[in-house]
Amino acid sequence: MTAAFSPASSGLLFDNSYRRDLPGAYLELAPDAAPAPQIVVLNRALAGQLGLDADVLAANPAWFAGGSLPMGAEPIALAYAGHQFGGFSPQLGDGRAHLLGEFLGPDGRRWDLQLKGSGRTPFSRGGDGKAALGPMLREYLISEAMAALGVPTTRSLAVTLTGEDVWREAGRLPGAVVARIAASHIRVGTFQFFAQRGEIDKLRALTEYTIARHDPDLVGTPGRELAFFDRVVARQARLTAQWMGLGFIHGVMNTDNMALSGETIDYGPCAFMEGYAPGTVFSSIDRQGRYAYANQPLILGWNLARLAESLVPLLPGEREAIIEDLNLRLGSIAGQFRAAWLDVMRQKLGLEGASDHDGALVDDLLFAMDGADWTLTFRRLADAIAGETGSLRPLFTDFAAMEAWLPRWRARLAPDAAVRMRAVNPLVIPRNHKVEEALAAADQGDLAPFHALLAQITDPYRDGADREGYALHAPSGFGDYVTFCGT
């Protein structure tokens, strides 16, 4: 039974500007009604940050599974295009998601509330529009871990069982919906959608809307389209550098999975690398390694080039001059990423200031780390500051290169390097074997491992005797890890 509701009681005060301002960018469509909605995890901490009453949310599970809608919600399925693994699809769109609307937080910031796994839409391309419990809990886990690690990300507000099963390769699985919070769901692919259709007026409206939403200081300024592009480049360079610093592999860096807000979006076949190997791939469908760990900065530039192409029709002047200008800006991306990456690595290594030699120091560390556990190496380096390498050595099959590197590193350390390093290098990440254990148990109705893992990964920097089982890499029998998109 749905609890009594008034707009003020939950904090969900909707103001649906995307639907109001961008006709043609969506289809009006309600989510499927779930037969027996049951919230299995509610993000009470996030609800509080957003000014929402968690008790009211908990009393209304149908809001998060499509059975009924909170007052003011005006559900739509968003339209977008995109390059998927390099191949262009002119129409993708939300094939199993519904944007319920936007609400304003206590600070006036605008947030999207979207349901994922909430039913088929005209964009479904043959899919059933549903989602299984495991992938939705996976998105919740990984996005909350990223938030705790200080990485810009969409967040999960709730995961709700629908009361019906879905069929996947693994057989019959419990169906579920994740309620996702985002600064927006505007993607590179959203711009591509209108650009490839030649709908320049709609492309211009989208650009003005996105600037107003994410870079409001640029509204009405001359040259704002290029200034906006530069902001997107800067956000994405920083974001990718943060991923790389954590050993995170997104897995599907398609242009429809790059949000112009600078948030990490769409946690499908993502995972955290354990042993350092630049070619690491987890996705079952990335057979060529396009989105491997070390390729992510290259794909960053490739995707932003597609955004630049989409903006060309809006820019004044001769086409050749416009393209030359954009190419210059695209040519700066590698340098911007490298600068952001070095900033991340200086923090991880506890370095004092900046030096022209830091790039070589980092590159030589990566050479020495071949196969060593990424997360534990940086965490245990703090112990090696005073010369104690007992905890570090077991991570390496050959410690010689690392031993030669350590004196160079120690010569660059800040006075409080150990404290700094333990504050930015996590002890606990979502280890792949622990994630799989938690999701397998959840499919059988046991959520205790999920909640135990969630508690650990949302407190990533703390030392403690209770943490060893979550901090260590997968046992040798775990084997090669493969992830799937969940559709």
The answer to whether residue 32 is catalytic is no
Q: Partners of 156 in the beta sheet? A: 180
- Kindly report the number of other CB atoms within 10 A of residue 477's CB atom: 6
Let me know the angle formed at the C-alpha of 149 by 146 and 152, rounded to the nearest 5 degrees. 55
Q: What is the DSSP letter of 3?
A: P
Collect all residues with Cβ–Cβ distance below 8 Å to 388 and sequence separation of at least 6. Answer: none
Q: Of 112, 256, 266, 286, which is the active-site residue?
A: 256
Question: What's the burial of 353, exposed, middle or buried (CB within 10 Å: 0-12/13-18/19+)?
Answer: exposed
- Going by the DSSP 8-state scheme, the letter that residue 68 receives in this structure is S
The C-alpha atoms of residue 198 and residue 209 are separated, in whole angstroms, by 18
What is the C-alpha to C-alpha distance for residues 154 and 106, in angstroms, rounded to an integer? 18
The three-state secondary structure class of 275 is: strand
Measure CA 163 to chain center.
28
Residue that has been written with the tokens 């998109």 in this structure? 485
CA distances from 398 to 353, 371, 372, 405 (A): 30, 10, 10, 13
Contact in structure between 329 and 322 (CB atoms under 8 Å) = no
**Strand 155-168 to strand 110-116: parallel, antiparallel, or no bridges (unpaired)?**
unpaired
Cα first-last separation, the chain: 30
Are the CB atoms for 273 and 302 separated by under 8 Å?
no
Q: What tokens appear for 481 in the block?
A: 């890890």
Q: Are the C-beta atoms of 466 and 371 separated by less than 8 Å?
A: no
Distance CA 118, CA 114 (A): 9
3-class DSSP state of 161: strand
Query: Are 188 and 256 spatial neighbours (Cβ–Cβ below 8 Å)?
Result: yes
* Pairing, β 271-272 against β 110-116: unpaired
Q: Is 95 helix (H, G, I), strand (E, B) or coil?
A: coil
Say if residues 114 and 99 touch (Cβ distance below 8 Å).
Answer: yes
Catalytic residues: 256
